[in-house]
């Protein structure tokens, strides 16, 4: 029998850096501050609601776009926060996590040869999804320590092939946030174009120091051309449940759902009903910023006497640390060294660039118990 000759559609893609570092952490019994998930439990009330809905028998397929009760609750939440109304019947879709939402949005819009502007360092699913759909990633580097977007460069790179711009705020991995000025620049640049904006806002409520989250939803001209993506996993410490949602104007959402229905069709039914009830408790998500700001401050204070330079984090639950005063190793090798020698895992930031600079930065997740953070900090201070 002749062997198969298979040509991968992603020939240059390897295993996700998050999987690689978590596996290495497990092998060496290291404290895992690499992959972004909490090590503390979610709300007991939320778990109870999920169980109650399972017992009620709500265990079969939900409607493709999500259970109506959850769509209504999401719509109400957005209206209270941003004074904008999205129709749950035509403009809101519950997704199998934010990654599926991002994949569906890109797949719905991008054709062969279309260009998509991506700001690096970038969450690692953006570029592969663009390439799987025949698109061309146009990468713009954001440089340490400020990681600001050069909007002049963006404007100069836009041409007739530009079909999408992807933004992420608060930003993973850098912890930076886009300002009102940034959003107005994006709105100005895309006005009178056929460009769609894909806004990854999964850390919407994890923003610090009295800063205000700048959503595309708040800017009418941007909202009219944007998909905005959110995550329940990030919001309620339930990353393993893989539930999120996407909002967009009716015509964009119509295209989105054509793809979504053939990827997952629908999402976990009892969890959707539970979230529809739990999301009405505003304090459960409005308090999350203070929770993580306290953890950021606890971690930063605990490593104050280490040799690391601290890059300010204004959102997400990630902290960048510059180790240039400690080692000359590249960041992947140094991240591996830390796992093997002191037992702390992180993410090398170079892995989230296509053409990485030698900036000697590691990303640490502080969505952990204070006990875990204290143990990790003592190890980092021992270097």
For 303-345, the pLDDT digits (tens) are 999 999 999 999 999 999 999 999 999 999 999 999 999 999 9
| pLDDT-derived band at 194, boundaries 50, 70, 90 | very high
pLDDT at position 1 over 90: no
The dihedral region occupied by 97, where left means phi > 0, alpha psi between -120 and 50, and beta the remainder, is: left
Phi, psi (rounded to 5 degrees) for 262 = -100, 0
pLDDT of residue 2: 73
**Mean pLDDT throughout 101-110?**
98
Q: How far apart are CA 57 and CA 52, in angstroms?
A: 9
Q: Model-level pTM? A: 0.96
pLDDT at position 372 over 80: yes
Where are the extended beta strands (E) located within the chain? 31-32, 92-95, 115-120, 136-141, 162-168, 196-200, 226-231, 244-247, 309-311, 318-322, 344-345, 347-348, 361-365
Q: How far apart are CA 183 and CA 180, in angstroms?
A: 5
pLDDT of residue 6: 86
Per the prediction, the chain carries an average pLDDT of: 96
pLDDT at position 175 over 90: yes
103 contacts: CB under 8 Å, gap ≥ 6 = 125, 129, 259, 263
Q: How far apart are CA 165 and CA 135, in angstroms?
A: 12
Look at strands 136-141 and 92-95 and give their pairing.
Answer: unpaired
Report all structural domains of the chain as residue ranges with CATH numbers, in order of start.
17-36+287-381 (3.90.1150.10), 61-281 (3.40.640.10)
């Amino acid at each position: 029998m002749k062997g198969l000759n298979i040509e991968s559609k992603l020939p240059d893609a390897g295993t996700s850096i998050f999987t690689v570092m978590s596996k290495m952490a497990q092998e060496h019994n290291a404290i895992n501050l690499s992959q972004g998930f909490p090590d503390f439990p979610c709300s007991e009330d939320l778990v109870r609601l999920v169980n109650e809905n399972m017992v009620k028998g709500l265990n079969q397929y939900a409607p493709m776009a999500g259970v109506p009760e959850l769509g209504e609750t999401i719509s109400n939440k957005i209206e209270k926060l941003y004074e904008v109304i999205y129709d749950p019947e035509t403009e809101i879709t519950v997704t199998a996590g934010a990654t599926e939402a991002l994949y569906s949005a890109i797949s719905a819009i991008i054709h062969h040869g279309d260009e998509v502007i991506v700001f690096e360092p970038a969450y690692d699913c953006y570029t592969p999804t663009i390439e799987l759909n025949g698109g061309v990633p146009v990468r713009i580097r954001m440089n340490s320590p400020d990681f600001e977007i050069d909007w002049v460069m963006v404007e100069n790179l836009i041409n007739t092939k530009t079909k999408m711009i992807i933004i992420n705020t608060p930003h993973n991995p850098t912890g930076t946030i886009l300002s009102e000025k940034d959003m107005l620049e994006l709105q100005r640049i895309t006005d009178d174009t056929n460009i769609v904006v894909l806004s990854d806002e999964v850390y919407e409520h994890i923003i610090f120091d009295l800063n205000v989250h700048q959503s595309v939803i708040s800017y009418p001209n941007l909202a009219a051309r944007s998909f905005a993506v959110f995550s329940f996993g990030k919001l309620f410490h339930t990353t393993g449940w893989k539930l999120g949602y996407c909002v967009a104007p009716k015509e964009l959402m119509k295209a989105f759902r054509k793809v979504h229905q053939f990827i997952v069709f629908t999402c976990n039914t009892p969890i959707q009903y539970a979230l529809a009830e739990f999301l009405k408790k505003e304090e459960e998500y409005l308090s999350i910023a203070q929770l993580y700001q306290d953890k950021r401050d606890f971690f930063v204070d605990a490593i104050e006497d280490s040799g690391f330079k601290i890059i300010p984090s204004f959102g997400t639950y990630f902290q960048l640390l510059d180790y240039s005063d400690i080692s000359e190793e590249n960041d992947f090798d140094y991240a591996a060294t830390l796992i093997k020698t002191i037992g702390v895992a992180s993410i090398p930031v170079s892995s989230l660039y296509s053409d990485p600079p030698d900036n000697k930065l590691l990303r640490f997740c502080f969505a952990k118990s204070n006990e875990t953070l204290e143990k990790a900090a003592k190890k980092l201070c021992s270097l």
